[in-house]
Amino acid sequence: MSTTPLSAAGTHDLAGFRVNRIGYGAMQLPGPGVMGPPKDHATAIAVLRRAVEAGVNHIDTAQFYGPDVANALIREALHPYPDDLAIVSKVGARRDARGNWNPAQRPDQLRADVEANLRALGTERLAAVNLRLHSGPDGPDGEHVELADQLAAMVQMREDGLIAGIGISTADRAQVEQAIADAGIVTVQNAYSLLAREDEDVLALCAANGVAFVPYFPLGSAFPGMPKVAEHPVVRRIAERIGATPAQVGLAWLLHHDPHILLIPGTSSLDHLEQNLAVAGVRLTADDVAALDAARPA
């Protein structure tokens, strides 16, 4: 168990919340394929409680995790919420009975889905909600919804007090530029890790605008087909030398890479949670950072 306080890794503003840079992502809590109940309900509750007890004040979630499972667990574990806890959700997708992730980008759907999050979590306002974009159509019938109209729906919800801040997710540089201009977004959530750095330009744009960049899949995700950070030989070599785990090295590199990066590693395990919290005390040398900077998928 780590003795280094989370704040040692620094903090960042998130829609008026001063959050620790080490947060927690709730997507690993539901069952396999992010569907259904957790494999161990008591452990899921314990993970959430331990995270907040250790200082996590930024939790990422979605109504479509489960669906309806992650938010119910957060409420059971943590309600009534501490005043400094920033719960961030996302809208723009719905699950069907087979677990497909279907786009749901119409303004009425975005609003209904923010309201569903508020009801499920038992709160009147979310710290931020990410507008989750998709590369294909914006609805199951092939419909298209202008990004400007989606952002306008988000701005209206902020004006109505349902959300404190707006984020955008899985967005390219042009979309992030538009979201900064039209909606004053406070966070971008894109896939990014030591071994998946395609969005370096989006990170630079966030840094220049004081927008939090929150990588999803920071370890390469639980899904197959993506390079796993903890399996990379350079990561493993450094981990062994400094007495850390490979996952910790991958997360520590993210923290080192840019001060606008906030972590939300997902885990269903108390042991992995402790490791991820303890990244606050992991120090990389300049040589370590240079070797990691040069690392590419094996």
Ligand X SMILES: NC(=O)c1ccc[n+]([C@@H]2O[C@H](COP(=O)([O-])OP(=O)(O)OC[C@H]3O[C@@H](n4cnc5c(N)ncnc54)[C@H](OP(=O)(O)O)[C@@H]3O)[C@@H](O)[C@H]2O)c1
Number of Cβ atoms within 10 Å of the Cβ of 92: 25
Tell me which residue has tokens 């038992």.
122
Q: Which is nearer to ligand X, 32 or 80 (CB)?
A: 32
User: CA 37 to CA 15: how far, in whole Å?
Assistant: 31
Quote the least distance from Cβ 23 to ligand X, whole Å.
9
List the catalytic residue out of 24, 65, 192, 216.
Answer: 65
Could you say whether residue 123 binds ligand X (CB under 6 A)? Answer: no
Segment interacting with ligand X (CB under 6 A) among 24-32, 104-112, 136-144, 285-293:
24-32
Could you say whether residue 185 binds ligand X (CB under 6 A)? Answer: no
Task: Select from 19, 167, 157 the least CA-distant residue to 82.
Answer: 19
Could you say whether residue 217 binds ligand X (CB under 6 A)? Answer: yes
Query: Exactly one of 77, 180, 264, 278 binds ligand X (CB under 6 A); which one?
Result: 264
User: CA 162 to CA 125: how far, in whole Å?
Assistant: 5
Tell me which residue has tokens 């899921």.
44
User: CA 6 to CA 77: how far, in whole Å?
Assistant: 20
Rg (CA), the chain: 18
Could you say whether residue 175 binds ligand X (CB under 6 A)? Answer: no
Quote the least distance from Cβ 157 to ligand X, whole Å.
18
Coil/strand/helix, residue 49: helix
Residues facing 169 on adjacent strands: 132, 189
Query: Exactly one of 14, 19, 21, 25 binds ligand X (CB under 6 A); which one?
Result: 25
Q: Which is nearer to ligand X, 219 or 290 (CB)?
A: 219
CB of 166 closer than 8 Å to CB of 131: yes
User: CA 28 to CA 32: how far, in whole Å?
Assistant: 8
User: CA 166 to CA 131: how far, in whole Å?
Assistant: 8
Query: Exactly one of 20, 63, 89, 189 binds ligand X (CB under 6 A); which one?
Result: 189
Q: Which is nearer to ligand X, 20 or 130 (CB)?
A: 130
# residues near ligand X by CB under 6 A:
30
Report residue 147 as tokens. Answer: 């990004």
Could you say whether residue 265 binds ligand X (CB under 6 A)? Answer: yes
Q: Which stretches of 39-165 are DSSP H helices?
A: 41-53, 69-78, 107-121, 147-159
Could you say whether residue 150 binds ligand X (CB under 6 A)? Answer: no
Binding-residue pattern over the window 53 to 92 for ligand X, x denoting contact by CB under 6 A = -------x-----------------------------x--
Quick check: is 65 catalytic?
yes
User: CA 74 to CA 59: how far, in whole Å?
Assistant: 9
Q: Which is nearer to ligand X, 153 or 171 (CB)?
A: 171
Could you say whether residue 247 binds ligand X (CB under 6 A)? Answer: yes
User: CA 186 to CA 115: how far, in whole Å?
Assistant: 20
Segment interacting with ligand X (CB under 6 A) among 116-124, 199-207, 233-241, 258-266:
258-266
Could you say whether residue 23 binds ligand X (CB under 6 A)? Answer: no
Q: Which residues bind ligand X (CB under 6 A)?
A: 25-28, 60, 90, 130, 132, 169-170, 189, 216-222, 230, 245, 247, 264-269, 272, 275-276
Catalytic residues: 65
